[in-house]
Chain A
């Protein structure tokens, strides 16, 4: 009993750095970063998000899943002595000495409304809702801005050629952070464009699944009602026995 309590305490202790704010005395290595121009001394081993919180900021905007999936923490920064403008997700990027950053938690963008069931899978549909994609000059700024390393321009170019498969598959990991759209000189809103193309591709180009259809019919016709009635009448012990004995088929 005492041992398990002790173990729980040790686990709590070792995780303090992620479950609470950091204490200065635990830090061995420091760097300086500039948050919107203000210099802050922060621990070297943190992500940008953790470092900004260490500096005393409490996120309202700019923090979501904290794991790289939601695009809330889009950050734009420069490194000392380097003219290049870089992008990153704050929750997935380690701090570096001299980083000069700002966060862009929102990208204003028009989202056209469409009813996917009334549209067909053709390029004309895409042009109807996103006519500005014809302005793409292949400058690749969107690709350079993408924190997920996606081939953004190639996807736009594929769409212009009617190759929805390429665009759907290669834009799949888009977390809709908006950095591409903010930097595009043709003012294309890539993430909304890709969402339409992926939905069209998913709905019209992927084959219907025969098993699924059959099973839905079976359930509707009540094929499993008898079995369920029987099971729901069993005692707890009988149920446990049934569970223990159930066949495991994982091939």
Chain B
């Protein structure tokens, strides 16, 4: 096999194709592409992985029986528990907090702080997390947090944008809570010391995301999630709130009334399980990207394996909008080492166009994500105008050099240092050359159904963040996810504190719901070796797996 020659990080043939992008830029900037009509949107969505047939099936058991969800998710719902309910000793309770928070991302940490703010003493809160505190999708959020604080904007407009993007399937009272709390949550973060981007006059720098009709995204470079989470995690640590790391919840606990009364935690490093009995449990376990729905790569972190949905479903929680998955239009498609990683929508918000192999800007860059993603897939696989990488991946160009031309030299380095750094590590300068992108699995739009105060249909179970359903409808807008975590993390924390203050009696913990669920699986004729939650994906080399012996 002949060796590839590389120029500025790209193989020679791709570098030649980039020249077409450079040549067509001026014309494209003069005549930008037009937005689609609602009808055109519907047409292109037919090729979207969520809409293209063959990816989903009916759930055969549980509260959402008869509804559709992606195969990979149904595989987990129609799977047996990792524990044997008869083998777990529930007599010995290891922790008895008032508030148990499962998940240590933006939502979980915010919930802990607000439960404390509203009067729950720190020693009565317990946050448990599967990996380190902070390991989450939140920490990788790049673009920003939406909040309608400008004079020409209003929460009502933010509301409209959100329900339009969600195909009007959102729960309206939940969205109202989201948009009305948004400005306050930004202020809360700045008072804690978060450094959002400012201009020379001290005003927030606010860009627009796809589907938004106003510029209202507050950002901290392209490290928004990291900055927000760092600051509230520091505050959490200052207060010395108890935190267990590498202790995922592998099952919830319920009492005879069906109330959720805690969880079974599992030490990932030693294998020991712990029983936690809590007055109220907040589920903040995040998303499902590592299920690689329809074989797509993902932007998500290592632990995004849909655990929360599984254990809540078994306890009887109702899900909502679980049939949709959000594919981020611009995941890295080259080089091989960073396939699927997120390229923030803010790049398009700052002017970068999406361009095919012939140098045409074939789609308006700020369509809602599902429309944008579908358009790119159509361009690559139906119109065959994508660029193919040496490893056979198809993608289109994201013309990043345009940003400096529009906003002035140095903009990319200042506003997107994370992106510049990511590509620099592999020899590519995004201020000089465009990058190759293709849709990547990004967000769990739905989940455990919530109300404006984080309540689910289960007594004792609250929910916040990506794991919840109802906030975003069938498709989330950019900047609403970190907002979701913060707003509903706070509301769940407040609701939890109110529960505790009101006085709740917690019944004896049982695993009855698990036994019931096993029976339902058997009665539905589901015979499978599958177990869930899976906790981590498995990327070990196939050759090694084929010759592995599990001795210990």
* Residue ranges of A at the interface with B (Cβ–Cβ < 8 Å): 1, 3-5, 7-8, 10-24, 28, 45-47, 50, 53-61, 63-70, 72, 92-94, 111, 113-117, 148-149, 168, 172-173, 175-176, 195-196, 198-203, 206-209, 211-213, 215-216, 219, 224, 227-228, 231-232, 236, 239-240, 242-244, 246-250
Contacts and interface: CB of A to CB of B under 8 A. Distances in A.
B190 interface: yes
Contacts of B184: 216, 219
A14 B168 contact: no
A208 B269 CA distance: 45
Contacts, number: 289
Contact of B160 (A65, A202, A207, A242): A242
A16 B183 contact: no
Contacts of A64: 131-132, 135, 139, 301-302
A97 B54 CA distance: 43
Report which residue of B183, B426, B541 has the largest number of chain A beta carbons within 10 angstroms of its beta carbon. Answer: B541
A24 B426 CA distance: 24
B156 interface: yes
A251 B36 CA distance: 20
B159 interface: yes
B539 A21 contact: yes
B2 to A, nearest CB: 11
Nearest to A230: B156
A208 B195 CA distance: 12
Contact of B394 (A14, A114, A149): A14
Interface string B266-297: 00110000000000000000000000101111
A120 to B, nearest CB: 13
A211 B150 contact: yes
Interface of B: 1, 38, 46-47, 49, 52-55, 131-132, 134-135, 139-140, 147-152, 154-157, 159-161, 163-164, 168, 172-173, 176, 180, 183-184, 186-187, 190-195, 198, 202-204, 208, 213-215, 220-221, 223, 225-227, 230-231, 234-235, 237-240, 246, 268-269, 292, 294-299, 301-302, 336-342, 377, 381-382, 391-394, 417-418, 421-422, 425-426, 536, 538-545, 548
A81 to B, nearest CB: 23
B160 A63 contact: no
B160 A219 contact: no
Nearest to B235: A116
A70 B542 contact: no
Given A209-B202, A209-B203, A236 B213 contact: no
Given A11-B381, A215-B148, 13 more contacts: A19-B296, A23-B542, A24-B542, A46-B336, A46-B337, A60-B246, A60-B269, A64-B301, A116-B235, A196-B234, A198-B193, A202-B195, A212-B183
Contacts of B539: 20-21, 50, 53-54
Nearest to A113: B238
A16 B292 CA distance: 10
Given A8-B294, A21-B540, A195-B230, A68 B418 contact: yes
B221 A65 contact: no
A150 to B, nearest CB: 10
A72 B133 CA distance: 11
14 contacts: A3-B382, A46-B337, A55-B544, A64-B302, A65-B301, A69-B226, A70-B135, A94-B426, A198-B195, A211-B151, A224-B180, A228-B155, A246-B164, A249-B152
Contact of A219 (B139, B155, B292, B422): B155
B139 A70 contact: yes
Contacts of B298: 19
Nearest first, the 6 closest Cβ-Cβ pairs linking A and B are A12-B295, A199-B193, A56-B544, A207-B202, A54-B541, A202-B193
A219 B183 contact: yes
A149 B336 CA distance: 23
A199 B189 CA distance: 10
B155 A68 contact: no
